[in-house]
Each structure stands twice: as structure tokens, then as C-alpha cells.
Amino acid sequence: MPDVFRNPYDDPKSTNAGYYALVGPDTLFEPGTTVRINDVLARLPNTLLIIEARHNVPWTKPEDLPFDPDKAPQDLNRFLEAQVAFATADGVPHALEKDRFAKILKRLAMRSDPQAVNLDTPWIRHDRPRPSLNAPSRVASRRNRPSSSLPADKQVRTRLNLSKLGIALARYHAAQKHFPPATVIGPDGKTPHSWRVAILPSLARRDLFDRYRLDERWDSPANQMLLQQMPDVFRSPYDDPKSTNSGYYAVVGPDGVFDGKVGVRLDQILDPRNTLMLVEGKREIPWTRPEDLSFEPKKPLPAFGGFVDGQFAMLSAGFSPHTLCQTEDDGELRLLLSRQQRLFSFDGYNRRYACGTTDERRTKRNLQRIGDAMIRFAAVNSGRLPPAVIAANGRPPHSWRVELLPYLDQEALYAQYRMEEPWDGPANRKVLEQIPDVFRSPFDDPKSTNSGYFAVVAPRAAFEGIRGVSREAIAVPGNLLLAVESKREIPWTKPEDISWDPENPLPTFGGFMEGKFAFVTLSGTAHTLPNSHAYDQIIESAIFRDSPGLISWP
């Protein structure tokens, strides 16, 4: 039995499936009906595909879960008491509290239900009881951590806007059998209008669309009156709330999703999930004006973004929002604009180009190098990560940072370190003064010898015990937090990191960047998260090496 069909909470020897389809009228698996992806294109993010359940059904047996829309939702035999995990037809995993899931199950299961379901929450699983919100430890945690983060809130709202635009474009495609061209010609055969106007009915703004005069210019007196009634979904949350400028644009050019006078069909895009469709942009372009961002093969790409330094938000032709990093080399980004490419991905792009300000990009590169070094360490040490503290054969304890030196092209420095001496012994103090840049935060004093990056030592974390954790014990490498940025007075060679007892509040991370901190996962990818209690559940899931499912990083 392939592990992918066995639930990680089940007996490792079980041959029962852990995931099932819902079979019934109007579901994706309706008996006697073959459902095509184009039939549910507008409902992909709101239609249930697969659900987690504990049933004694062998994985090869042709049996799933019956669904009757006229009956109350059945009480699923769950692996976890309080939660239900499932995936929607766009391939995104979700985990919801059981009571909320029961209320929306009918709308999720029925592929023709017109009502959208708000699932704009990241994948979060709890495999241990959550402390009461009234518990002193949790209250203390929330007092010590900011109650909100305005930049992060705007980032989430940007992604939500792009998701809504993606759903609207999917609905347009489902009705017209193609996407709108960037410039839509009016019924008179000559007057241009924006795709933003064309998708108004798909945004449930038929009232606004019906008042827009397609036989007049976008800036005619009648259409100018509608300019002030701009739907919020077109305005960037970083912009002036009274602005009528669009915050989101089509990228128009040869071989792109918006190419030519006729709309492109989804089946003309080889890899929709990794083809750029819309971008965030700070421009003085009113939302109804038929103008977007154009590119030509032999000229530099237009500037994307402009609201957040070093990065921009975008929407793929698979209707998924992403945040991409700005870089001087636009060669790979240009390939991601092509609907004929299938060799490059957005995740791979961000793996190679770190986002943020100059120092933020440098701290992410440091973390990526540390993550890569740990991966190489595991490759030559029977698949085990280094323990946080190395103390073999009765020798004094030493830090994992010292142990990684040979994997960071620092063999000469490693040779100078005396394992028989304490970390602050006479010879090792000389090594301390030669701190590699990869361990010093770029935000710190250039003369500092303090580490800017630490392991989180906790039960079920990447750093637990004296032998080092085996990669086989890690459920999802892309989830697992390896090292976190933190501002502490701890010399880089000192065998000290950040310890955490899961019964207590999370420790405070970061301290270099306002309102956020950086970290790296076992996939070698660096991320940033707001230093806000709203993300505590995501952080906890990232710390535990047995957290199932893929975390959808903000």
C-alpha cells in the first residue's frame, strides 16, 4: 500500500484507506456521471474533492462515503476528535473544526451550489489538545506578542483580493469558454474596455456592469460616474482607501495568458499552476481604464509590485495567489509568463530568489545556506540531522553551528576548533572571533559574534535528543522548521539555542525586523511570518516534525 493512501494517524501496518470521495447526487463523484474539470471551473476552490475519515475499507476496495443532500450530514469517524481534514478540487488542503465543517458540508459537496464558501484559512492541524484561551500561559503569550500586524494583514487581504479575482476569471471562463482579453471591444466593434469591467458580473456586480455604457469610452461622463464606485477587490489594501486606481493588472504580451484580441482558453496553457496571469502593481491607472502592463520579448519586463519593497503579489492561471521576489535578472520570470512552459515553478523561483529588503534577502539567503548545509549533513550521516548539542565520548558540549562548518565551505575554520576544549576555551575563543557571515544576522553589528540563527529544541521538533532526528521521522519536510532568526546575546559557538515546552507559550522569535521573523524549513526554503499570536498555530505546526499535510505558508 502506498503511504499516500494511509493516514499518518493510523496504524503503520494498516491497509485501510485514510481518504475517501463523497459519492452522491451533484458531487464530483456522482454515480453514472463523468464530471469534467471545465464543468466546475468556477467552483474549484469551493468543491470538496477528498475527505479524511477512519473506516475499515481496504485501499483497493471500490468503496467510498455515500452522500445524501436531503439528509443531515453524517458524523464522520474522524482520526482527530475536533477536526476534519479535506482537499478541495483546486488541490488545496484544509482542516476545519468539526462543527463548522458540518454546517458547510452540503455546500462543499454539491458541485453546482452557487454560494461560495469562505475557506481563506491556512492548513492547520492540531494533534494535541489546544490550551484554553483563558489559561494564564496563553494569555501571557498574547500579551507578549503583538495582537495584530498591519503589514501582514494587508498582505493577507492582497492574496484574498487575488483569489477573488481568480474565482471571477474562472467563472467568466466557464461561461465564455475562454478568459477575457486584456482589452474587450464594445458592441460597436471599436470602443475598448478593460477586462476588469468585463468580469463584474462574475464578481456579483451585475448592477455596476449594467450601468456601464459599453458603447462609450471608459472616461465618458456616464462611465466616469461609475469610477467612484470601484469594487474593493480591485483596490490594493496598501493604497489610499479613496483611490480609484487599480491595484491588479494583466500582463500582456506574446505567448502570455493575455495575448491578442481573443481570450485564451485554459487548455492552451500547459501548466496553469505555474503560469503568471495577474500581478499587483502600483500605477496611476483607473480601474476602468483599458490599460495593463505590456511586455516585449527583447525589452526589459515592466516593473511589478511597488507596494512592498522587494516583492510583489500575483495570481497564477491555476487561480492560486503567490508572492514573488523582485530580482534584477528577469529571465526566469519571463519564462513564467509563457503559457507554453512547464519546466519552471513559482516555488522554485522563490527558492532561488529571496524576497524583501536588501538585508531581509540576505538573512533569507543565510537561512537557505544553513538549511542546505543541514540537508547535506543528513545525507552523509545516515539521514540524521545534527543534534542541537554535540557531546560525544565525554567531550565538552558543542553547538550544531560548529558541526555544520564543513558543509558551509568552512573546513579550515572547523579544523581550528578544539573539540576537547569547552566552546569558550582559549583556542576556541579565537574561532569565536572568526564568525562566518552566514551565522551573523545582516541586521546585527558587523563586529558582533552573536548568532542570528537558532534551533528550536522541543519534543517532536527537528532538534530533540542527543542522536539527531532521522529524516524518516519527518512527515513533511516542507513543513519542518529547522532554524529561526532571533536577536539574542548568544555567541555563535555556544551550545545554546531556544528551548520550548509545548505546555508553555511560544518563545519570542525575531527582533531584527519590525513585526516579523525569518526561518528555514527542511525543504531548504526560507520564509517570513508576522510576529503575531494570530500565526501561533502555524508556527506550532511547523515546529512539530510529525505534523501531517502541507502547510500553506502566507
Does 254 score more than 50 pLDDT?
A: yes
Residue 521: all three cell numbers together: 524549513
Instruction: Give the amino acid at 49.
Output: L
Distances in whole angstroms, Cα of residue 143 to Cα of each of 245, 257, 484, 508, 515: 38, 47, 22, 11, 15
In percent, how much of the chain has pLDDT > 70? 89
- Give pLDDT tens digits for 432-448: 999 999 999 999 999 99
Per-residue confidence band for 461, with pLDDT thresholds at 50, 70 and 90: very high
Per-residue confidence band for 549, with pLDDT thresholds at 50, 70 and 90: low
Whole-number pLDDT of residue 554:
60
- Give pLDDT tens digits for 59-111: 999 999 999 988 866 667 777 767 788 888 876 778 788 888 888 898 889 88
- Give pLDDT tens digits for 332-377: 888 999 999 878 888 777 767 766 677 888 899 899 999 999 999 9
CB 5 within 8 A of CB 19: yes
Which is higher by pLDDT, 4 or 497? 497
- Give pLDDT tens digits for 168-219: 999 899 889 999 999 999 999 999 999 999 999 988 899 999 999 999 999 9
Q: How many CA atoms are closer than 13 Å to the CA of 376, on its beta-carbon side?
A: 13
Per-residue confidence band for 250, with pLDDT thresholds at 50, 70 and 90: very high
Decide the pairing of beta strands 83-88 and 183-185.
unpaired
Which is higher by pLDDT, 289 or 471? 289
Give the separation between CA 434 and CA 440, rounded to whole angstroms: 11
With b for 16 or more beta-carbon neighbours within 10 A and e for fewer, the 84-109 pattern comes to bbbbbbbebbbbbeeeebbebbbbbb
User: How high is the mean pLDDT of the chain?
Assistant: 86
Distances in whole angstroms, Cα of residue 10 to Cα of each of 7, 94, 252, 339, 543: 5, 19, 49, 41, 21
Residue 426: all three cell numbers together: 582559549
Q: Tell me what the mean pLDDT of segment 241-268 comes to.
A: 94
Give the separation between CA 544 and CA 127, rounded to whole angstroms: 10
CA quadruple 332, 336, 338, 340: dihedral, nearest 10 = 100
Beta strands in 464-508 (DSSP E): 481-485, 498-499
Whole-number pLDDT of residue 8:
80
Does 253 score more than 80 pLDDT?
A: yes
Q: Tell me what the mean pLDDT of segment 286-290 comes to.
A: 97
3-class SS string, 311-340 = EEEEEECCCCEEEEECCCCCHHHHHHCCCC
In percent, how much of the chain has pLDDT > 90? 54
Whole-number pLDDT of residue 476:
79
Residue 134: all three cell numbers together: 483563558
Per-residue confidence band for 225, with pLDDT thresholds at 50, 70 and 90: very high
Alpha helices, DSSP H, located in 380-489: 400-403, 411-416, 426-432
Whole-number pLDDT of residue 111:
86
**What residue has cell string 524576497?**
355
Residue 281: all three cell numbers together: 502593481
Does 36 score more than 50 pLDDT?
A: yes
Report the DSSP beta bridge partners of residue 20.
51
Q: What is the CA radius of gyration of the chain?
A: 26
Whole-number pLDDT of residue 116:
63
Give the separation between CA 93 and CA 550, rounded to whole angstroms: 7
Whole-number pLDDT of residue 546:
85
Whole-number pLDDT of residue 82:
73
Whole-number pLDDT of residue 550:
62
Residue 456: all three cell numbers together: 528550536
Whole-number pLDDT of residue 472:
82
Q: Tell me what the mean pLDDT of segment 244-263 comes to.
A: 94
Whole-number pLDDT of residue 147:
36
Q: Tell me what the mean pLDDT of segment 315-334 comes to.
A: 85
Residue 61: all three cell numbers together: 476496495
H/E element, 347? helix 346-352
Residue 101: all three cell numbers together: 465543517
Whole-number pLDDT of residue 133:
27
- Give pLDDT tens digits for 97-155: 888 888 889 888 988 876 666 665 444 444 433 332 233 333 333 334 443 334 456 87
Whole-number pLDDT of residue 380:
92
Domain parsing of the chain, residue ranges = 3-119, 151-352, 358-543
Residue 254 CB contacts under 8 Å (≥ 6 apart), including other chains: 296, 297
Q: Tell me what the mean pLDDT of segment 295-309 comes to.
A: 89
Sign of CA dihedral 302, 304, 310, 315: negative
Does 263 score more than 70 pLDDT?
A: yes
Residue 516: all three cell numbers together: 516579523
